[in-house]
Amino acid sequence: MPKNSKVVKRDLDDDVTESVKDLLSNEDTCDDAFKKSSLIVSNVPEKKDRDMEEGSLSDEERPAWNSKLQYILAQVGFSVGLGNVWRFPYLCQKNGGGAYLVPYLILLILIGIPLFFLELAVGQRIRRGSIGVWNYISPHLGGIGFASCMVCFFVALYYNVIIAWSLFYFSQSFQQPLPWHECPLVKNKTNTYVEPECEKSSATTYYWYRMTLDISNSISDSGGLNWRMSICLLAAWTMVCLAMIKGIQSSGKVMYFSSLFPYVVLICFLVRSLLLTGSVDGIRHMFTPKLEIMLEAKVWREAATQVFFALGLGFGGVIAFSSYNKRDNNCHFDAVLVSFINFFTSVLATLVVFAVLGFKANVMNTKCITLNTKKIVGLLGNAISPELIPPHIDLSNVSPEDYTQMIEIIRGVKESDYSLLGLDSCSIEDELNKAVQGTGLAFIAFTEAMTHFPASPFWSVMFFLMLVNLGLGSMFGTIEGIITPLVDTFRVRKEILTVVCCVSAFCIGLLFIQRSGNYFVAMFDDYSATLPLLVIVVLENVAVAWVYGMDKFFEDLKDMLGFSPFRFYYYMWKYITPTVLLVLLMASMIQLGMTPPSYSAWIEELAQERSRSYPAWGLAVCVSLVVMAILPVPVVLALRYFNLLDESAGGFSSVSYRKGRIIKDTAAPDDDNASLIHGKSPCSEAPSPVPGSIYRKQSAGLDADITPNGRYGIGYLMANMPDMPESDL
């Protein structure tokens, strides 16, 4: 990366160091030879051949955020997504409750904040999308940017399907009672009965699998398109396209609502749920620490994975958003702020989820007690002696405490015969231990809890509108991770590229709204992002710390921020973070190798989920997703290694010159303080050169200059020569 230096050292015969001011003041700008040697930068985006210090496009200014708040909201909206609501609470419950927060915080500091800071810094410094950034840092590792775009596209395909599901539930919430409040009745000529599939499961489960997805029994049975979901998916992609069509100028304004509204809903839900019976039981269960679980390696692996994905690392969205920042923006502060906002959002969502689930557990426990009490009344005088019932217990209205006392007495007397009574186990703890995540939490458990809320349609509308906004915030960053690198690289119109991307994604996304579509969503979620993103972030870390060089990167940060970052980051980036990432990558590969690829199929006849293995073509698709996402990295590396891809290929920049000769220069790799000549003579009525650009007087020898990163240099022979045709480097 170039350094923001205002003084360029040059070794002359007398070892004199001249400042920019001296060079400019001594230059005869109207000299004929000077005019003939002017360098013209053509109307295409620049590569590292121009000093990236100015960071602007030659024909127009790079878009910028309207305010710092808008930028922070964009980063928060991208990093805070559906996973914070339906993944983090599940992991917290599964891995030790409150104790899980300890490894999560440790790993957030060890890998989360350093990697987030790294992506913010390179994007802000180089002012390009992921393709331009990694091609600039190391052309041989330029495939990292293309791999990020591939992963973003894969994720966008199925992530917007989840938004479509949320839109469907949102549209169905304007009813009293809610349509998933109870099982539907089936009428025939003789009688009326409850739908068998619903009776075997539950009203919300039936509504999700049958009414919403109309799911098939296996991934091999496509079952045709679900037309209602097709309309919702079209609406979801239309919203994304309209919000992104003008880049950050349009999406930035949407961020004020899409990023802030979920917090309003979460706080409202928390206040409302705390007023419900049993909410405290859920929160107590959530944060009761199980310290012994912290010693298990699996807990740390899952915490590291959650940190990694919660911040959106490797997607390119973080880099794309930060590339529209001012050069002197304090991205270190941004990294710490957004990381902890993300963490506290996860904790807030966890409080809300378990307060609601605590209320639901109490409702289910009350139903269980009522059902068992009726069974006990029927068994009195036969299997159960009336004398076993304490006299103070009113069997017409049994409280949970009285029920517990009564059951303990009956169990103590009956002992081995207790199981023959057919009494169900009624326990709030058992209900809360039924861990659910993902769509099972949002579309089944949470919707069931909301049916017991007073004014349940209002809360259902708010909840699913919140899910839509959480999803859109993440989608904006994901699409930006595709659009920005491609626009920077190939100079296509952003509006056209955005429309083409959204239309293509909608057409491919029809795969996910077949009756078997939910199985493909699970497949893409498991295999298109996890391993590829880990590989991408490992390579990003290595590219900056070991290829570009930590000392040089720290100098760039000091020059950009105005202060040197803590030395903590030096050792994190160079040693600790890549080591942790490699261990995490190996652990993930071992887990995938030990766990045969499978999916959970909904069996209509049983009204239950069953684990099934993928067919042969399904395994091929799983492998293809991983390979296709990572493939750009070795392909670009091979093309660079065998010189099959020119350094300037890809359209990053094109420099034209007139009446001058450009020669290759073999500059020392470390000499990266010089900047390129770019501008015209003031006598030609062109704008004056920007600060930091240098006009050198002719000298007897060849004047050589080098590119900002000091690896590939271009020398300029400032001589009075005949006209030469324009050419591109």
Side-chain-side CA neighbours of 430 within 13 Å: the count stands at 7
Identify whether the C-beta of residue 443 lies closer than 8 Å to the C-beta of residue 212.
yes
For residue 424, the 8-state DSSP code is P
Instruction: Please give the pLDDT value at position 380.
Output: 82
Is residue 217 classed exposed, middle or buried when 0-12, 13-18 and 19+ CB atoms within 10 A define those classes?
A: middle
Tens-place pLDDT, residues 502-538: 999 999 999 999 999 999 999 999 898 888 999 999 9
Side-chain-side CA neighbours of 427 within 13 Å: the count stands at 10
619 vs 381, more confident: 619
Amino acid at 602: W
Amino acid at 168: F
Mean pLDDT of 80-87: 89
**Residue 559 DSSP SS3:** helix
Instruction: Region of 186 please: left (phi>0), alpha (psi -120 to 50) or beta.
Output: beta
Annotated binding site for Na(+): 77, 80, 84, 342, 470, 474
Q: Which two tokens stand for residue 615?
A: 């067919």
Q: Which two tokens stand for residue 58?
A: 């030659």
Annotated binding site: 77, 80, 84, 342, 470, 474
Separation between Cα atoms, residue 44 and residue 530, nearest integer Å: 36
Tens-place pLDDT, residues 316-364: 999 999 999 988 899 999 999 999 999 999 999 999 988 988 888 888 8
Identify whether the C-beta of residue 145 lies closer than 8 Å to the C-beta of residue 629.
no
Separation between Cα atoms, residue 193 and residue 187, nearest integer Å: 7
Separation between Cα atoms, residue 516 and residue 218, nearest integer Å: 7
Residue 569 has pLDDT above 80, yes or no: yes
Instruction: Please give the pLDDT value at position 413.
Output: 82
Which is nearest to 321 in space by CA: 543, 64, 143, 48? Answer: 64
For residue 384, the 8-state DSSP code is B
Separation between Cα atoms, residue 413 and residue 255, nearest integer Å: 64
Query: Cα–chain-centroid distance for residue 392?
Result: 58
Least confident interval from 43-57, 284-298, 570-584: 43-57
Least confident interval from 206-215, 366-375, 561-570: 366-375
Q: Which residues of 620-654 are buried (b: 16+ CB within 10 A; e: fewer)?
A: ebbeebbebbbbbbeebbebbeeeebebbebebbb
pLDDT band at 16 (very low <50, low <70, confident <90, very high): very low
Residue 427 has pLDDT above 50, yes or no: yes
Instruction: Please give the pLDDT value at position 360.
Output: 86
Which is nearest to 185 in space by CA: 206, 167, 165, 208? Answer: 206
Tens-place pLDDT, residues 96-143: 778 888 899 999 998 999 999 999 999 999 999 999 999 999 999 999
State the pairing for strand pair 39-41/661-665. unpaired
Q: Which two tokens stand for residue 149?
A: 């775009």
Separation between Cα atoms, residue 214 and residue 193, nearest integer Å: 21
Q: Which residues pair with 402 in a beta bridge?
A: none
% the chain with pLDDT above 90: 44
The segment with the largest mean pLDDT, out of 379-383, 586-590, 722-726, is: 586-590
Mean pLDDT of 539-545: 94
Residue 203 CB contacts under 8 Å (≥ 6 apart), including other chains: 180, 181, 182, 183, 448, 451
Residue 561 has pLDDT above 50, yes or no: yes
Instruction: Please give the pLDDT value at position 725.
Output: 36
For residue 690, the 8-state DSSP code is P
Instruction: Please give the pLDDT value at position 435.
Output: 64
Separation between Cα atoms, residue 435 and residue 282, nearest integer Å: 12
Mean pLDDT of 458-483: 93
Q: Which two tokens stand for residue 504?
A: 């293509």
What torsion, rounded to 10 degrees, do the Cα atoms 269, 274, 276, 279 define? Answer: 110
Separation between Cα atoms, residue 93 and residue 701, nearest integer Å: 72
Instruction: Please give the pLDDT value at position 168.
Output: 96
Least confident interval from 40-49, 130-139, 354-363, 423-432: 40-49
**Residue 544 DSSP SS3:** helix
Least confident interval from 214-223, 414-423, 635-644: 414-423
626 vs 724, more confident: 626
Residue 465 has pLDDT above 50, yes or no: yes
Residue 96 CB contacts under 8 Å (≥ 6 apart), including other chains: 289, 290, 291, 292, 293, 294, 299
Is residue 711 classed exposed, middle or buried when 0-12, 13-18 and 19+ CB atoms within 10 A define those classes?
A: middle
Which is nearest to 218 in space by CA: 568, 598, 492, 677? Answer: 598
Residue 668 has pLDDT above 60, yes or no: no
Identify whether the C-beta of residue 651 lies closer than 8 Å to the C-beta of residue 45.
yes
Instruction: Region of 685 please: left (phi>0), alpha (psi -120 to 50) or beta.
Output: left
Instruction: Please give the pLDDT value at position 192.
Output: 86
Separation between Cα atoms, residue 306 and residue 532, nearest integer Å: 15
Q: What is the pTM of this model?
A: 0.78
pLDDT band at 620 (very low <50, low <70, confident <90, very high): very high
Mean pLDDT score of the chain: 79
Identify whether the C-beta of residue 312 lies closer than 8 Å to the C-beta of residue 79.
yes
Amino acid at 560: M
In 10 A of CB 528, how many CB atoms?
A: 24
Instruction: Region of 491 please: left (phi>0), alpha (psi -120 to 50) or beta.
Output: left
Q: Which two tokens stand for residue 176?
A: 């009293």
Instruction: Please give the pLDDT value at position 647.
Output: 54
Amino acid at 603: I
Instruction: Please give the pLDDT value at position 657.
Output: 29
